[in-house]
Amino acid sequence: MAEQHRKTTLDSGWVAARSTEVQFTGIQLTTTHPPTRPTSPWMQALVPGTVLATLVKNKAVPDPFYGLQNEHIIDIADSGRDYYTFWFFTTFNCKLSSNEHCDLNFRGINYSADVYLNGHEIILPKGMFRRHSLDVTDILHSDGTNLLAVLVHPPDHPGRIPPEGGQGGDHEIGKDVTTQYVEGWDWMAPIRDRNTGIWDEVSISVTGPVKIIDPHLVSTFSDDYKKAYLHTTTELENRSSLTAECSLSVQVTTELEDSICLVEHLQTQDLSIPANSAVQYTFPELFFSKPNLWWPNGMGKQSLYNVVIVIDVKGFGESDSWSHHFGFRKIESHIDDATGGRLFKVNGKPIFIRGGNWILSDGLLRLSKKRYNTDIKFHADMNFNMIRCWGGGLAERPEFYHYCDYYGLLVWQEFWITGDVDGRGDPVSNPNGPLDHDLFLFSARDTVKLLRNHPSLALWVGGNEQVPPDDINAALKNDLRLHPYFESVEENSKPVGDWSPMSTDFSQYLDGTRIYIQGSMWDGFADGKGNFTDGPYEIQNPEDFFKNHFYNYGFNPEVGSVGMPVAATIRATMPSEGWQIPVFKKLPNGYVEEVPNPIWEYHKYIPYSKPTKVHDQIQLYGDAKDLDDFCLKAQLVNYIQYRALLEGWTSRMWSKYTGVLIWKTQNPWTGLRGQFYDHLLDQTAGFYGCRCAAEPVHVQLNLATYLIEVVNTTAEEMSNVAIEASVWDLDGTCPYYRVHENFSLLPKKVAPIFKMKYPESKDPKPVYFLLLKLYNMSDNRVISRNFYWLHLSGGDYKLLEPYREKKIPLKITSKVSIEECTYNIQMLVANTSKRPASTSSTARLSDGFYGTHSLETLACGVGIEQKSSWFKRIHRCFAGKSDGLKVTEISGPDVGVAFFLHFSVHTSKMDHNEGKDTRILPVHYSDNYFSLVPGETMPINISFEVPLGVTPRVILHGWNYDGGEIICEVV
């Protein structure tokens, strides 16, 4: 993130009050009658934040995300705009020396504001996505104590919510340059204040006579990326009445380890800046030999350099400084001839896009670095490589981009246009976008300047399922045109880099380094022509994702499905009447319609059936008995659904598809659809289905053909690898086993290896488990592991219900380390049930089938034992550090697969009140919702933060462990 010289963030000490309840003017509030404490009508305010977030914080309104409480909060359409017009007040200290200047900075206000500082009034222009930097040097108090009051006005056209709801309400919100989701959507209830407030960072920054404004950093390459060049342009403003003789320097450092930094470059230039003027200065390019490149997640390291620009003024000293993390990388994009989809390259290497759609972190804009860190790490943990910031949400914040840089998530950033609000819908919306086109363009240009230095930013898009109005679209195309160097070979007759040495420096463009696409379904996305060809958005038969007819275009920007959270989240976010599971209504055609309770319906529940097309996927496991049973079975479906979605797309990497983005990864409130983790930050099993399917190198079962495939999305060829496939039945025996050895995987390819023929064997079991392992034969290292539960064609999973009664023994070895409030727990989880004894050494049949009552365990156990040395190494690591080692054994007389194991972290019983949610969230797991065959061992790492005074405990749940087992309690 960019940092400015002597910047102080004003994020505490604010109070707020409804404007109609304050009897003083802004001048009086900042001179003679300042509020001294949060007494009525004043209350503690959330800044950055919104009016509604402040009201919720003070319990002045109920939590709108709990149950149906949002219905008890008055909507701005009914109250009028004055009801949500609020004063925000704080004080700050700033004492200036001679020739110093102070700016008061607002990085985002929705929608307009009147600012009062020490009795002086400043009227801010409208617009949610524009920065305001006010030179307040002459109105600061000499003693350093300053009084600040801000009167914030809601959007001009907050609109009204039709009784039937709808996408963006009555669409009036589209007349303003603001977020559009706030009138409600099919995944979101309306936000009653329309996000009115000081929603982004407030700060003061002190500089000398000359100020640095919005530097632009651009990297170029030659000699196959072995040589790099940094191009830097910045605006410099001299606010003094004298010509400033300046020394301007740029320094580039890289962190080696343990906060030790290596200075790569330090360049200094002398220049003069006329009085009371601004100039643009471009540094001579800096040369780097063999730079550390920035790569997306799954392609390599996210190497970041720190660029610092400092300006010294003769007679004053250091006047201003600016710093930003920067990654050397080049992003190219073109429409692929083979698929018709848009193909992205990073540093010359094609990248198969697997990612998700993002709205925003929190619907009330309670944004924080800590939450952003968790959000983006979750996406990286799912092995995603792109996030699409949807046009009805935010121009995301620098903190969001900072963590995308750090974790390697490419970002597709849209501007504030959606088809529903800007061209179609019921009522039909206005296709001409916001009323003030100049404001839209100013905000777009300001957003580009704010975000353009982030290596994670991959492309700009005009809008969601809609193109901006012609004049806006033409201006954006012109402003965001590519420098010739960044145009892709496939789209131009000139080779990349064939540009005149006299052409404008790269960094002098507004951007110039990444493409602009006019809309999310144009130019290589969906059908490329803007027809409504994204989706679908509901439950699918898992095998359909693999079928050629499922989706006909090369890159799907939105495909969605279910997202039911765990039962604990339902209990934490709804009263008891919301704990009722859906009624399963049998239809004459044999399908089931799910009828959810009114609270689930309000929270936009999406069913697990699609009458006429998809049978209820929860009922495949038998009737759900209660909330816990329903949510557990939903997790089984979540895992299968999203793993199949990504595996189906990946199975046609480059031959049919160039990428897919799932709608959507998370909900900005307590919604019940399209999410991999809920608003409380607990993951669904779908999270781990995606994590499995999106591995850079992955072994998978094609559910349509039963071919076992290996996907290599990396740029490296892999040789001397093997696949082990073993089938396990509900009796704990292994009726099918096959190893395919010593083959190679070409880079960026999908390879079908062999067909899994167990379903074609004599008397196959109606429900069975399949374990696939891809491993390196030279050291037995497991590269990819994938576990399936399957039923025969036309069948179901109902036999898994009595399987819950089996008690499979486990042994869990754990070691805890604590650093301040962060806990790290390393575990080895072992299924200690014994593999079946051999009854015949000659019972092996062709293609690895085994007789029903005999098993050659030597063959069946080979693949498992081959990895034992790996597990032993891990175990020795534990054994060498005996202090704090804990062993938990769960006894059981049965032999079989320990199915669908999952951990959760809770406060101890002494730390919580009865009936309260005891979970500690968020928690990062190396894996969860996993299964172990007999004799198998798996390492699991868990990390989380715990508030002071809280004792955590780790609990294991599973299909065979219904009550939960306490594995680790740290006293």
Q: What tens digit of pLDDT does each residue of 312-331 get? A: 999 999 999 999 999 999 99
In a domain, 862, yes or no: no
Is the per-residue pLDDT at 595 higher than 70?
yes
From start to end of 746-821, where are the E strands?
749-755, 767-776, 782-791, 810-819
Q: Assign 831 a pLDDT band (cuts: 50, 70, 90).
A: very high
* Same domain, yes or no: 377 and 281: no
Do 728 and 768 touch, CB atoms closer than 8 A? yes
Residue 237 CA, chain-centre distance (Å), reads 37
Residue 258 has pLDDT above 90, yes or no: no
Q: Which pLDDT band, with edges at 50, 70 and 90, does 291 fall under?
A: very high
863-920 pLDDT, tens per residue?
333 334 434 443 444 444 445 789 999 999 999 999 999 999 999 876 666 678 999 9
Q: Identify the CATH number of the domain in which residue 285 sits.
A: 2.60.40.10
Sheet strands side by side (includes 749-755): 697-701, 707-712, 749-755
Are both 299 and 407 inside the same structural domain?
no
pLDDT 10s digits, 399-434:
999 999 999 999 999 999 999 999 888 788 888 999
Looking at the fold, whether 785 and 824 belong to one and the same domain comes out as no
Residue 372 inside a domain? The answer is yes
**385 and 525 co-located in one domain:** yes
Boundary of a domain, candidates 171, 203, 235 = 203
Closest to 516 in 3D by CA, of 561, 483, 549:
483
Over 70: is that where the pLDDT of 110 sits?
yes
Cβ(297)–Cβ(714) below 8 Å: no
767 is written with which tokens? Answer: 């429900």
Is residue 640 a part of any domain in this protein? no
pLDDT at 505: 85
Question: Residue 474 falls within a domain, yes or no?
Answer: yes
Distance CA 410, CA 217 (A): 18
- pLDDT band per the 50, 70, 90 thresholds, residue 3: low
- Chain mean position to CA 538: 21
Q: Answer yes or no: do 139 and 261 share one domain.
A: no
Is the pLDDT reported for residue 852 higher than 60?
no
Residue 956 in this model has a pLDDT that exceeds 90? yes
pLDDT tens track for 544-581: 999 999 999 999 999 999 999 999 999 999 999 999 99
Instruction: Tell me the longest C-alpha to C-alpha distance in the chain.
Output: 97
Point out the domain boundary residue: 314, 332, 353.
Answer: 314
Least confident of 388-392, 496-500, 549-553, 844-848: 844-848
Same domain, 385 and 482: yes
Q: What is the band of 503 on the pLDDT scale with cuts at 50, 70, 90?
A: low
Q: Is residue 243 part of a domain?
A: yes
* Spatial contact of 359 and 382, defined as CB atoms under 8 Å apart: no
* pLDDT (tens digit per residue) in 376-397: 999 999 999 999 999 999 999 9
DSSP H helices, 408-540, are: 437-451, 470-479
Reported as a pLDDT band with limits 50, 70 and 90, residue 502 is: very low
Question: What pLDDT does residue 909 have?
Answer: 72
655 or 848: whose pLDDT is higher?
655
pLDDT value for 960: 93
Pairing outcome for strands 305-313 and 227-238: unpaired
Instruction: With a cut of 90, say whether residue 862 has pLDDT above it.
Output: no
The active-site residue out of 201, 237, 414, 465 is 465
Pair (759, 826) in one structural domain: no
112 and 128, same domain (yes or no): yes
What are the tens digits of pLDDT across the range 238-257?
A: 999 999 999 999 999 998 77
Determine which one of 558, 594, 709, 856 is catalytic: 558
Tell me: the pLDDT tens digits for 784-813?
999 999 999 999 999 999 999 999 999 999
On whether both 747 and 823 belong to a single domain, the answer is no
Task: For residues 61 and 72, give the distance between their C-alpha atoms in angstroms, rounded to a whole number.
Answer: 8
406/526 same-domain check: yes
**Confidence band of 489 (pLDDT split at 50, 70, 90):** low
CA gyration radius for the chain?
30
3-state secondary structure 575-640: CHHHHCCCEEEECCCCCEEEECCHHHHHCCCCCCCECCCECCCCHHHCCCCCHHHHHHHHHHHHHH
Q: Are 693 and 700 in contact (CB under 8 A)?
A: yes
HSE value, Cβ hemisphere, 13 Å, CA-based, for 890: 26
Same-domain pairing of 540 and 392: yes
Residue 568: inside a domain: no
757 burial class (0-12, 13-18, 19+ CB within 10 angstroms)? middle
Mean pLDDT score of the chain:
92
The pLDDT assigned to 497 comes to 44
Residue 60 lies in a domain: yes
User: Is residue 259 over pLDDT 80?
Assistant: no
- The one-character DSSP state at 874 is H
User: What pLDDT score does 132 carry?
Assistant: 98
At residue 954, the pLDDT reads 96
The answer to whether the CB of 134 falls within 8 A of the CB of 104 is: yes
Cis peptide, bond prior to residue 501, ω within 30 of zero: no
Q: Which amino acid is at 191?
A: I
Do residues 160 and 170 lie in contact, with contact meaning Cβ atoms separated by under 8 Å?
yes
At 520, the amino acid letter reads S
Please indicate whether residue 465 is annotated as part of the active site: yes
Quote the number of domains for the chain.
5
In whole angstroms, what is the distance from residue 158 CA to residue 178 CA? 10
Better-scored residue on pLDDT, 784 or 836: 784
Which residues are within 8 A (CB) of 875 and not within 5 positions of it... i.e. 6 or more apart?
813, 828
Identify whether residues 699 and 818 lie together within a single domain: no
d(CA 175, CA 169): 13
How confident is residue 487, by pLDDT bands cut at 50, 70 and 90? Answer: confident
Q: Which among 314, 345, 377 is the end of a domain?
A: 314
For residue 254, give its domain range: 208-314
Class of residue 247 by CB neighbours under 10 A (exposed 0-12, middle 13-18, buried 19+)? middle
pLDDT digits 0-9 by tens, 720-748: 999 999 999 999 999 999 999 999 999 99
Clarify whether 491 is annotated catalytic: no
pLDDT at 861: 35
| 536 inside domain | yes
